[in-house]
Structure 1
Amino acid sequence: MSREENIALATRYLTAMSAGAWETVEAMYHDDIVVHMAGATPASGKLVGKEAVTGDLIARQVHAALDPARMHFARRWKIMCADEERVTIIMEGGGPTLSGDVYDQTYCEIFRFLDGRMIEMHAFYDTVLIERCLFANPLARPRPALPPLDY
Structure 2
Amino acid sequence: MQIPKYTRREFCLHSCQTLSLAAIASAITGCGGSPTSASTSFPALRTVNGSVSGGVVSLTIDASSPLASTGSAALVATSSGNFLVSRAGDAFTALTAVCTHEGCVVSNFQSGTYECPCHGSQYSTSGSVIKGPATRSLTQFTTRFANNVLTITL
What TM bracket, shorter-length normalisation? Answer: under 0.3
Between structures 1 and 2, the one with greater helix share = 1
Please give the TM-score of this superposition, normalised by the length of structure 2: 0.26
Please give the TM-score of this superposition, normalised by the length of structure 1: 0.26
Max Rg structure: 2
